[in-house]
Structure 1
Amino acid sequence: MMGKTTFDAGRRHAAGKFPMARLSGAIALGLLCCGSLALHAQPATAAVPGQPQDQNASTASTTDAKSPKKKAAKVGDKQAKDFSAIVVTGIRASVEKAQDIKRDADTFVDSLSATDIGALPDRSVTETLSRIPGVTIDHFLSQGDPEHFSAEGNGVQVRGLTQVRSELNGRDIFSANGGHALSFQDVPSELMSGVDVYKNQTAEMIEGGLGGTVNLRTFMPFDFQGQKIAASVSENYGDFVKKYKPSGSVLYSNRWHTDLGEMGVLVDVADSQLATRTDGLFVRPFFKNASGTWVPRGADWRTLLYDRKRDGAYLAFQWRPSDDLDLYATAFQSKYHEVWNEDAIFVGNDPTKVTVDASQPSQINGGVFQSGRLTQPGGMPMGTDIRASNSHSKTTDFSTGMKWRLGTSTELTSSLQFVKATTNSLDSTVALGTNVPYIDVALNGSNPPHIGVDSAFTGNPANYYWGFTMDHQNQNYAKELAWRADIDHSFVDGFVQGVKAGVRVTNRNADNIDTGYNWKPVFQTWMQGWAIPSGALPGLNLNGTVNTSLVHLDTFKNFYKGDAGIPGAFYAPVPSTALGYPGSYADIHNAAIPYYIGGGYNVPYQPTLLDAAHTNLQHEKTYAAYAMLDFGVDDVGLSGNIGVRAVKTRNASQGFLVYPNQAFAPYLGTGQSAPISARNEYTDVLPSLNVKWEFAPNWITRFAFSKAVARPDFSQMQAYQILSAAVLSGYTPPPGTTTLPLDKLTLTSSSNSNPYLTPMKANQFDLSLEWYFDQDRGGMAWINLFHKGISDYFRNESHFVTYPGVDGNSYQYLVTRPVNVGKATIDGAEIGWNQFFDFLPVKGFGMSANYTYIRSRTHVPNDTTAVPVDTDGSGYGSLPADGLSRDSLNVAGFYEHGPWQIRLAYNWRSQYLLSIGPNGYNGTDNNIPWKLPVFADAYGQLDGSIFYAFNEHVKLGLEMNNLNNAEQRTIMDQNASGKHVTSWYVNDSRYALTLRATF
């Protein structure tokens, strides 16, 4: 097995165990240095505005937000105190606002607010969410993909669950991604005033968040006293990609008293661009070779260049024609354009033939390869490719609503919303092939490993041939119309303080086209002798049609920031070859036709069709109603709510049933298809109870219980079933046989979707103790214990289903598809602390810290979804739930005094299961189908910012990400050969010079 050095040490401690001592020292030293600078600076003439100035103009009238209604007197007192003294702004204001939201909430909530208008603590919504206790993100471009790193993060999980509901101002918001939720990386953070994460529920909250609900907040015109103008411009720089990219945002808001009442308008626009570079190295799974040594099938490396452009626009109108009526209308749009391309070299060999070259120095430890030269007869087949992705997504929301006050005790609210989202993407790969003489790999004592090839060989274009193409297209469209109405009545005296009831109706359509990954060979070694002549494979120049101008030599300049050496240069197609689909594909495949001698490849290239076979049509309607009672005993500081929400869901899916095409069984079918119209209907009853007790001044304990549901994604409910018939294994039909009886056939069907899935469910409990020891200055500490008992997990199960044959008879197929089966429990604790150290001689220091511990257990009978199998056929024991880290940590240090505003923040999460059997970690060798569990190793990142206010209107600062040059690693778990780090990634440290102005 590999030494402990691989996991616990190395140049970047971000990926090791808790680096608490060094981290605390670094933050303390940085803040003390910043503080010494501030002591010599001149104080600003006034505080820099950064928060809404008219807190009395509540946005509750303009959103479906879950703000408590029984705290008016207390909040009003605090506002009066704030306005009579000094306006608190910046970091301190953000901390205090989040603290007020948490303290006054009707259930369990954690929040972050913008320190300035259009300035969340981080430059993306995803990174901002990771600062909230119980929320984690992964650093991969898509969930379950261990081969592509993401600088800004992806895949938001709340308490280890990906089933997270997304909201904009308390209403639905989503991307056209085949699911119900928003891709948070799509949304411009500059448009947000804050984010709230609800970890339990009240009856009035919209259902759908099993892990929790993430609510994105925007400003409204009545949030400000009068005219407000705010703008920011940034120049972003990545030290690895060495590119500059601009960002900017502008907000204008104003309100007027007119003969028709008070009116307000707000306009907010944002544009943000980013470029990054990621270098990665890979050591592939280990196999036991003929000599009994466990050796990796090979090693490879790659460089990914990433560009994204994120635009947003937001328009809000408020009108208060009288003291009893508020009206509003908003329009919100976010657009996201992502382009990346990757040069990669990867193994494509038979792993059972790999040997260790005995003529070269090598090291074997306990029968497991540590270093040496890997080779195999005839050379090691490898591929070099350009993979490029071009994706556009857009989400547009139009909402309108009103609040009507009927006397002093009753309020009627209503809202109407229309959301439309689109996504169009092309993921395209064009690859060359080559047989390298050897691969040098050194794992022992190397972090990252040393990898090398014969550069003279890989640097010669004559040693390559055209290998394959692979396209993957998405064309998604989704829209929803939603309406809700609520009535709220308050009581002056008594235990029952108010009652609230409401209804909500939605109508959503999703039209998703996903073509899958369509791999098509040009020339492969296994085609020699039957599809192409034996001997050397055709070179890059095919009859002068496809030539070396379509390839380039990648020399990997400054590879891995110089920390891994240069493994070797190689030729790969240029990016335009991949992005030129389908024309470039046709040129390559058609030029190869004269070289084929059989096999059915000598036909003109046909692009993948965006046809009905790839289309998933979904229509979902929901009908919800709730009733909730607010109660309390003011004399003892007790308050809470109890209620129930009932929701009926109707879903309709349209697709196709494809019959078998087995020559020996024409009575089953001949490959024809028949339309499917699947309908599913279910009702969920969701009770909830929230109790809050301030048993001593500034000491609060809370308890919450609720039942939550998470509907399956639309991609999991596609109505598409392919029936298959195969001759019984081991049976050979006699010569002249034309038809076989049923007992000589195996009838099966496998699908990744099931239109009859129902929601996952959870009974969830929270219990907390909160101490607001410095309520007016942002000082608090808390501990929160939680439990989730989850049922109806989506897992694959095999069972017999009857389908008709073309002869009129019915036949049973063994169908494997996801069903609602299995249970899980999630238990954990969140601990947090915020404080500003105003008692120190040097004013302005503060600190925030939170830690989350999560433990999970699962029980899924007959699970065939992702049962791991090692490369020797051995099985595994139980594995943790995917995406769930046991430990996560946030530590932030602040300095804010006079004109200076400084922040250092560290975010860390422990190892978690990323995927079972993803690309590169599954296959069939020696007739053994295998798929390995791949874990993301612990990862921590240090970010920071420093701003100087020239006056009350203008400030200049530097925002910084990944200051510790963090390394993301993944680990593959193998039984006999042990755990191995399988990939290493390094990315940019990013800097943004930012100018902000507020008037």
Structure 2
Amino acid sequence: MKTKHIFKPALLSLAVTSAMYSGHALSQQNNTNADPEVEVIAVKGIRGSLMRAQAIKMDNTSIVEAISAEDIGKLPDSSIAESLARLPGLAGERVGGRTSGISVRGFKEDFTGTSLNGRELIGIGDNRGVEYDLYPSEIMTGATIFKTTEADLMVQGIGGTVDLQTVRPLAAQETLTFTGVYEMGGNDSDNPEFDNKGKRLALSFVEKFADDTIGLAVALATTESPRNERKYGVWGYSANDDGQFTPSGLDTQAISRELDRDTVSAVLQWRPTDNLDIAVDVLNIDYSDSGVIRGFIEPFNAEPTSLSGAGTSVSGTQVGVNPVLRTDPAQKDGELQTFGLNVKYNIDDNWSVMLDVADSQSKKRDLRGESYAGLARNGATDAFGTRDFQMSPDGVFFTGSTGLDAFADPTLLQLTGPQQWGGGMANIADQFASSVNTIFIDEDGNPVPFSYLNAQDGFLNYADFEEELTTARLETEGFVEWGIINKVKFGVNYSDRYKMKDNKGFFATASSYPYSEAIPSQYLYNGLADLTWAGLGQVVAYNGFAPYNDGEYTLNDAGLLEPDRLGDTYTVDEEVITLYAKFNFETELGDFPVVGNFGAQYVQTDQSSTGYLGIVGSNYAVCDDDSNGVVDADCIQNGGDSYSHFLPSINVSIEVGDNRFVRLAANKTISRARVDQMKASGFVKFDQNIDLIAIPNSEADVDRYGSPWSKFQGNPSLSPLEANNFDISFENYFEDEGYVSLALFYKDLVNWTDEGRELIDFTNDTTNEGANYFIPGFHDRIIQATDLYGPANIAYNAGDLVTPPDFGYYSYFQDGLKGTVKGAEITANIPLGAFVSALEGFGIAGSATFIDAELDNGNPIPGQSDEVFSLTAYYEMNGFEIRVAATDRSEFSTYQRGGSNKIDPATRDAVTQVDAQISYDFEGSGIEYLEGLRISLQGTNLTDESEETIDGNGIVTLRREFGPSYMLNFNYSFY
């Protein structure tokens, strides 16, 4: 059948040429054979990568962005994340100093679809979003970011779709390439057991056999990458009656970690005939991210008469200083495996059928121990220290101290818990009954013995995650002559997802309880840890896992002691069937060529979740009324729902001039709700703080002052987030490597997950069949000293019984929130030599994204920055290349892993990151044995940009300083 094509052959030839050189087809599903008369333009380096990306963008009827193998392989990137973060409309989010998350048009990665060769890709985290830094650059050949959707695009999201691509060996050149990278952090390690040096090694090859009917592509990569971080944090700030701000508590640490990652990617392709193509691909990633978080955590009290200054510019003296030296060893281990089979059969010259099946599995254990050390066990001394401090909007810095020399002397420092944090062990109080007395005296003048309240010396905190996704897709496509419609595609896609989280923890008590002992010498490292950058001096460094490994700590399962931990354990299941049809058309509007596609998806979803409602019982245990270690049946929660969606889409591309295009798109998209919000689990929690317990028993006072009671529950019946999207783009391609474009987009959010909140009576919870959660002796308190208590300054005498208010807030998730997103993207790739011949080889590539978005409840969208800028300046000539890339994003809302392995909201301050690279390719050097060699020196975060979280007063509550990173890269292609 003869099919009419209005677009110029030169455009498609450029796309084909690009595909031949970069080693992958431009389409994620179709391989294109080059016309033998087309001249192959083998342009290397950044200029070649820009040409290939531009060809993909030009040849697509949707609004897309793209990166090619040269982008990923040669920019200063250890993963694809940094390369993606430079694209127009995208913004990177750092996790632990590495760019990991990617926002597309203001939507965090949980609301962006991610696929690998067109198949949905899973991650290893708490939610749906993919951790892009998990994927080494060496195994990827390209990526296409769909900002508008098409009916045959199975992986969608409100933000867009990121499709990562690996090589198809029969469409690639044969090659054998070795890569070696020496990495060095710009900051030395503050912890003596770690350093700042690492390496990456990779070997990849593509071979063809049996007259080019069998192709094999294999990539092996191993990484050892250091990370040294300085973390400043506080529990929050409060202002006194004079408006002077001071911290409520400190959380300052020196963090050292190392990422070890081994990756195997293999693709076997067999084309026994021209009509049959079979590809099998395997990806396996093993990784470990281990290290230590070492520093001080403690409450903060300032001597009122010592304060001077105003607002946040305050100096004074911290008194009653009783720090906890936390040594938290961390070990995160995970594995991700994907297996895929793709079979395509050409029925005749016009029709073909394709079957694609895949299975992906991931698992992870995120383990963090806590080992405490201090001046003495809580209750054994009141001989505390002092510190002088200076406050500013950047936080608090210490200028001197007294009485704290023990923290640098391992013979004086005690392996014990200096703060009273053991309240969670109330139901096993008998285990810690003691005849030894603390220094405290009760209201009757009697000494107070050590008890479970003084018995927490550490905590072993971990969460296990498992996920599996099975997909199957069957489709047929063919060329037709149905008026303006020249191609059709029909198909069905099935996916089955399972995700599990098991939130676990153990209270740790040292064998010396109720006494304390110095840290055993065999635990100690040579040298001290450095906290002088925070004004906290040097502190003892020891192995925090050692007391767990050798039995020094007695462990008690916290899963049945803390309701919020059991209330964060769950499974979620989803089964989705998608029917779809897509129609390509080609016509003319006046003298203007018009191409595009329209179609729709019908999506049927069944979802369910199983979890627990964690409640403390009369025996002080959580969901264990029989004290047998088994969760009570009435705590088990189940829920789910079924729903369907009709998702139409249309994309139109009009060539209004020579290589000038206007693109229009309209579609409806969905993003499934966050997994942690869909859980059936929940909990009822009580805060043992006396100032919250001593609140008057009225709804008005609870609304004003707060409450020790809280209840939270997920919602397994949440519908997907839903948006109607409209896009228009103007693109002017004036050179093979030069273009400018302006894109405008509007998203009408018709359903977003809202946070519900209502005041309930915790002695008669109507949301849980009238349950009464109050337990005498556990939820009340005997006053130890006559004083004023609570925010209302109520007077109590020693011996008085204080009972909490009946009321508190119940939080949950619900559908129905709406919002709007309006944005503009300006992009320009400018080869300066096209305008001034003396500037041949020089160029700039930049973009600016502006977003105006807000949900109807006034909250921001997670991942949204109002402004994102990216600029790359480069020079390339005769194998020599230098480039500098800068990205800048304004303040944005996000969420992160918080206490007890739960997800907490956060606000990140604006960040600007500058990377650079200088390299030389010996291919044109004339030295034969060096012609396959390329050497580059790369640097990331050259301006030492910090990651900061600020509060409503504009004061830094969390700052992470990572420092720059440098890499010396050797890449040698044997053929």
TM-score by length of 2: 0.77
Matches within 5 A, 1:462-501: 462=412, 464=414, 466-467=416-417, 468-492=457-481, 494-501=483-490
1:85-144 deviation digits (Å, cap 9, x = unpaired): x422221221111111111113121111121895566221221111111211222x3xxx
Structure 1 unaligned segments of length 5 or more: list them: 1-49, 142-149, 525-530, 533-537, 591-603, 733-745, 861-877, 923-930
Question: Deviation of residue 605 (structure 1)?
Answer: 4.1
2:55 paired residue number: 100
Aligned to 1:957: 935
- Tell me which of 107, 112, 134 is aligned to 1:164: 112
1:569 and 2:538 correspond: yes
Give the corresponding residue for 2:741: 782
Conservation of the 8 A alpha-carbon contact between 1:299 and 1:441: no
Kept after mapping to 2: 8 A contact 1:825/1:857: yes
In the aligned structure 2, how far is the partner of 1:174 from the partner of 1:267? 21
Distance apart, 1:710 and its partner CA? 1.2
Residues 285 and 972, structure 1, Cα contact 8 Å, conserved in 2: no
Structure 1 equivalent of residue 100 of structure 2: 154
1:353-380 C-alpha deviation (Å, 9 max, x unpaired): 422563xxx7413xx252423223xx22
After superposition, the Cα gap between the structure-2 partners of 1:442 and 1:292, relative to the gap in structure 1 and judged at 3 Å, is: closer
Q: Does the aligned pair in 2 maintain the 1:58–1:222 contact within 8 Å?
A: no
Q: 1:540 aligns to what?
A: 517
Question: Which structure exhibits the higher relative contact order, with contacts defined as CA atoms closer than 8 Å and separated by 6 or more residues?
Answer: 1
1:266/1:316 contact within 8 Å kept: yes
Question: C-alpha deviations, 1:533-573, integer Å up to 9, x for none?
Answer: xxxxx4433xxxx646545697455x68xxx585412235x
Within 5 A, what are the aligned runs for 1:136-147? 136-139=91-94, 141=95
Offset at residue 609 of structure 1 (A): 8.4
Match of 2:84 in 1: 129
Aligned mates of 2:53, 2:143 — CA distance in 1: 9
Q: CA deviation at 1:939?
A: 3.0
Contact 1:448 1:984 in 2 (8 A): no
Deviation at 1:267, TM superposition (A): 1.5
Question: Aligned to 1:990, which of 952, 966, 972?
Answer: 966
Q: What residue number does 1:943 align with? A: 916
Matched, 1:415 2:356: yes
What is aligned with 2:368? Answer: 427
Query: Is 2:624 the partner of 1:673?
Result: no
Q: CA deviation at 1:239?
A: 3.0
Counterpart of 2:3? none
CA distance in 1 between counterparts of 2:809 and 2:234 reads 37
Which amino acid in structure 2 is aligned with residue 235 of structure 1?
A: Y
The secondary structure found in structure 1 opposite 2:70 is coil
**Cα gap change, 1:489/1:995 in structure 2, threshold over 3 Å: closer, same or farther?**
closer
**1:646–1:683 Cα contact (<8 Å) kept:** yes
1:471 Cα deviation after fit = 2.2
- CA 1:971–1:474 in structure 2 vs 1: closer, same or farther (change >3 Å)? closer
1:173 aligns with 2:121: yes
Q: Does 1:853 align with 2:796?
A: no
Is the alpha carbon distance of 1:130 and 1:725 closer, same or farther for their aligned partners in structure 2, counting shifts above 3 Å? Answer: closer
Point out where structure 2 has 5 or more consecutive residues left out of the alignment: 1-16, 189-194, 376-382, 418-456, 688-692, 699-706, 759-764, 773-806, 925-929
Aligned partner (choices 136, 145, 149) of residue 188 of structure 1: 136
The Cα of 1:988 is off from its aligned counterpart by 3.5
TM-score by length of 1: 0.75
Q: Equivalents in 2 of 1:217, 1:747: separation in Å?
A: 51
Whether 1:320 aligns to 2:271 is yes
The range that moved more, 126-135 or 942-951, is 942-951
Question: Which residue does the alignment assign to 1:841?
Answer: 838
Kindly report which structure 2 residues correspond to 1:226-375, keeping only aligned pairs within 5 A, or say none: 227-241=174-188, 243-258=196-211, 262-282=213-233, 285-289=236-240, 293-297=244-248, 301-349=252-300, 353-355=301-303, 358=306, 363-365=308-310, 368-375=311-318
The 3 A distance-change label for structure 1 pair 937 and 91 is closer
Contact 1:277 1:304 in 2 (8 A): yes
Give me the whole-angstrom Cα distance separating, in 2, the residues matched to 1:747 and 1:243: 45
Change in 2 beyond 3 A, CA 1:218/1:292: closer
Q: Does 2:730 align with 1:769? A: yes
Asked whether 1:648 is paired with 2:589, we answer no
Give the Cα separation in 2 of the matches to 1:615 and 1:690. Answer: 43
Matches within 5 A, 1:735-746: none
CA contact (8 A) 1:850 1:889 kept: yes
**CA distances 1:930-964 after superposition (whole Å, capped 9, x unpaired):** x9974423332333232332558422323322363
Q: Give the secondary structure class of the aligned counterpart of 1:946.
A: strand
The correspondence for 2:878, drawn from 865, 879, 898, is: 898
Q: How many residues align?
A: 829
Aligned with 2:43: secondary structure?
Answer: coil
In structure 2, how many angstroms separate the alpha carbons of the residues matched to 1:612 and 1:456? Answer: 40
Paired residues of 1:653 and 1:717 also in contact (CA < 8 A): yes
Match of 1:502 among 475, 491, 502: 491
Partner of 2:855: helix, strand, or coil? strand
Shift of 1:718: 2.2
Q: Distance in 2 between matches of 1:901 and 1:917?
A: 40
Q: 1:801 to 1:408 in 2, by over 3 A?
A: farther
1:553–1:569: 8 Å Cα contact kept in structure 2?
Answer: no
Q: Find the residue that maps to 1:453 and give its secondary structure.
A: strand
Q: Read off the aligned partner of 2:315 and give its amino acid letter.
A: G
Deviation (angstroms), 1:898: 1.0
**Structure-1 residue corresponding to 2:827:** 832
Structure 2: how far apart are the matches of 1:747 and 1:568?
Answer: 37
Change (3 A) 1:816 1:363: closer
Conservation of the 8 A alpha-carbon contact between 1:490 and 1:499: yes
Alignment of 1:581-730 (within 5 A): 582-583=548-549, 587-588=552-553, 590=554, 605-606=556-557, 615-634=569-588, 636-657=592-613, 661=617, 672-674=632-634, 675-722=636-683
**Counterpart mapping for 1:48-67 below 5 A:** 53=20, 58=25, 65=28
Distance across 2 between alignment mates of 1:443 and 1:294:
8
Task: Tell me if structure 2 keeps the 8 A contact 1:436–1:453.
Answer: no
Give how far 1:151 is off.
Answer: 2.2
* Percent pairwise identity: 20
CA distance in 1, matches of 2:89, 2:214: 40
SS at match of 1:822: strand
2-side partners of 1:494 and 1:160: how far apart? 39
More displaced 10-residue stretch of structure 1: 89-98 or 241-250: 241-250
Residues 725 and 301 (structure 1 numbering): CA distance in 2 closer, same or farther, change over 3 Å?
A: closer
Contact 2:528 2:539 in 1 (8 A): yes
How far the C-alpha of 1:483 sits from its partner, in A, is 0.8
